[in-house]
Amino acid sequence: MSVTQAWLFLIALSLGSTALAWTGVDGGWAALAILSLAWLKAQIILRTYLGLSQAPSWSRGFAMVLGFYMLGMMGLAVAAG
């Protein structure tokens, strides 16, 4: 993925999370959707802008840590909602 494609995809994901927040939907499902979009954005930034796509073992490590973190945040969002 080129930097321009990544940037456009990040803009689209940001617009998606903004649209979800703007609709006024609240609760666990909205939080899960917004956190999922943020998770995708973080993966794009790590792989494209930080160049982790060229270091597969580092990419897997960062993806695993980020995955555990996001699952924890999603669990807290569901518990709070």
pLDDT for the residue numbered 66? 94
pLDDT for the residue numbered 42? 94
Give the residue numbers spanning the domain of 28. Answer: 3-80
pLDDT for the residue numbered 31? 86
Tally Cβ neighbours within 10 Å of residue 57. 8
Q: With 0.75 as the threshold, say if the pTM is over it.
A: yes
φ/ψ of residue 55, rounded to 5: -130, 80
Angle of CA points 17, 32, 25, to nearest 5°: 60
Per residue of the chain (81 residues), give pLDDT as tens: 889 999 999 999 999 999 988 888 877 788 888 899 999 999 999 999 988 889 999 999 999 999 999 999 999 988 886
Distance separating alpha carbons of residues 65 and 40, to the nearest angstrom:
14
Count structural domains, the chain.
1
Tokens encoding 21: 């927040």
Distance separating alpha carbons of residues 29 and 19, to the nearest angstrom:
14
